[in-house]
Amino acid sequence: MVLAHLTWEEVDALDRETVVLIPTGSLEQHGPHLPMFTDSLLVTAVAEEIERRLPSKVLLVPTVWLGASAHHMAFAGSLTASMTGYGDVLKQIVTGLSKHRFRKFFVLNGHGGNDSLNDIALRELKETFASSVLAHKGYHEFAEATIAQVLEGPSKRIQHSCEAEVSLMMHLHPDKVRKEKLIDDGLIPEPAISSLVLTFDEVTDRGALGYATLATAEKGKAIFESAVSGAITELEAIHAGFVLRGQ
């Protein structure tokens, strides 16, 4: 069910095992070839498809579109939530629906910069709602194997406005891809230093990171299907309940 479209009487009638699905995106630069809203568009598309396939098991909340994007602020148009403000929004959504007696929540993330904050917010919520089921994961994490398989460029994982993201946009929003602007972009530290916290203007020339020129709608379709079906498996397990077994 789509929360935004329901009346309070309809929400009141819902089964409280329903899993609340909260998509989190961003509004940040995606290089010269993709629009600001790419992360929000993609995670919304995945979330809406999940709700379409599992309408009675999922309660879809509107996308939290203002993500944590301070590392993109050097590029015009990018917006960023504050770290505390971002978490506050998530906490208000979960707290509000907990008042309405929902107790299963899944945050589906579409922007890497939100990961740590989703983790923190849910851990803080778990202190209050100890018996609730709280979960979060990036949509692309459900499609990791597919991504590694379909990408042709040297990078086999999702990056930023890359072969994978552009493919997804070609599949879902082809009119929003500036095909004439596609570039391969991205710098890495040499020697390799994986621990660094860097801003995007420190590691790209024009705001993208990856092999966008290799993107195709077909690859996008495969990644999308894989993300949707992976997330559905997870959500159905949460909806059904689960047992803990010895390791």
Residues in 179-238 at the binding interface with a second copy, rule: CB under 8 A: 181, 184-199, 202-203, 207, 209-210, 233-234, 237-238
Residue 9 lies near a second copy (rule: CB under 8 A):
yes
Residue 218 or 236: the one with the smaller Cβ distance to a second copy is 236
Residue 65 or 224: the one with the smaller Cβ distance to a second copy is 65
Considering only residues 17 to 36 of the shown chain, the ones binding a second copy according to CB under 8 A are 27, 29-36
184 forms bridges with which residues in the sheet? 211
Shortest Cβ 9–a second copy spacing (Å) = 5
Residue 100 lies near a second copy (rule: CB under 8 A):
yes
Q: Which of 21, 23, 24, 37 binds a second copy (CB under 8 A)?
A: 37
Q: Which of 45, 65, 110, 172 binds a second copy (CB under 8 A)?
A: 65
Which residue is it, tokens 């997330």?
Answer: 231
Shortest Cβ 167–a second copy spacing (Å) = 18
Q: Which of 21, 46, 60, 97 binds a second copy (CB under 8 A)?
A: 97
- Any long-range contacts for 172-178 (C-beta under 8 Å, 24+ apart)? 172/41, 172/42, 172/45, 172/220, 172/224, 173/41, 174/217, 176/34, 176/35, 176/38, 176/41, 177/33, 177/34, 177/215, 178/32, 178/33, 178/34
Shortest Cβ 179–a second copy spacing (Å) = 12
Q: Which of 48, 79, 216, 225 binds a second copy (CB under 8 A)?
A: 79
Shortest Cβ 58–a second copy spacing (Å) = 14
Q: How many residues interact with a second copy (rule CB under 8 A)? A: 103
Tell me the torsion sign for CA atoms 135, 60, 173, 38: negative
* Angle CA 21–27–89, to nearest 5: 45
Which residue is it, tokens 């010895």?
Answer: 246
Q: Which of 48, 53, 70, 213 binds a second copy (CB under 8 A)?
A: 70
Considering only residues 105 to 164 of the shown chain, the ones binding a second copy according to CB under 8 A are 106, 113, 115-117, 119-120, 122-124, 126-127, 130, 133-137, 154-155
* Angle CA 3–11–124, to nearest 5: 70
How far does Cα 98 stand from its chain's mean position? 22
Task: Identify the helix (H) or strand (E) that includes residue 184.
Answer: strand 184-185
Contact 6, 89 (CB under 8 A): no
Residue 82 lies near a second copy (rule: CB under 8 A):
yes
